[in-house]
Amino acid sequence: MKKGDKIVGLIIIILITISLLFLGIYRFINKGDKLIAKIIQDQEVIKVIDLDKVEEPKEWTIENEEGHHNTIRVEKGRIRFIEADCPDLVCVNSGWLSKPGDIAVCIPNKILIRIEGKDDEVDQISY
């Protein structure tokens, strides 16, 4: 343990605390009693689903212009990527999203799913 190690340790602890604080704020802002999943591809919202109103589990595949695909499964109260052809599979490993503020991304295919707690969309598609 050298002198500078303590300073580095302190800076890192402060950084982690700040980032956790921001995470808390983020969760707080997104709080709400609804579960609205938004599927966003290339920065455009392509689908909005009210997860509380999903009765039957459903799966479908989204394809992008380059021919890559992601398969999404939705059940009552939760949504996830179940299959994709991206190399890292970060999206699939993110697992189920069931809380407002949850997010799963597939960077290679530029698709993300986000859950919001409030209903701010006027033109909504729902099942």
Partner 1 sequence: MTNTKRIVLLSLLVGIALIIYVIEAQIPVIFPGVKLGLANIISLFTLLVLGWKESLIVVILRTVMGSIFGGSISAFLFSIVGGLLSNIVMILLYKFFRNYLGLSSISICGAIFHNIGQLLVAAFIIQDLRIYIYLPILLISGVITGYFVGISVGFIYKYFKNFPWIKDIQKGQN
Which residues of this protein are in contact with partner 1, per CB under 8 A?
1-5, 8-9, 12, 15-16, 19-20, 22-23, 26, 40, 43, 86-88, 90-91, 93-94, 101, 103-105, 107-108, 110, 112, 114
* Residue whose token pair is 């960077």: 107
Q: Please identify, using beta-carbon distances, which residue of 4 and 123 lies nearer to partner 1.
A: 4
Report, in Å, the least distance between residue 42 CB and partner 1. Answer: 9
State the nearest-atom distance from the C-beta of 56 to partner 1, in Å: 28
| Tokens standing for residue 28 | 């707080």
Cα torsion at 102, 52, 40, 79 (round to 10°)? 60
Nearer to partner 1, 36 or 54 (CB): 36
Q: In the chain, what is the straight-line distance between the N-terminal and C-terminal CA atoms, in Å?
A: 59
We find the least distance from the C-beta atom of residue 73 to partner 1, in angstroms, to be: 17
Tokens of 59: 């799966």
Give the span between the Cα atoms of 102 and 25, in whole angstroms: 13
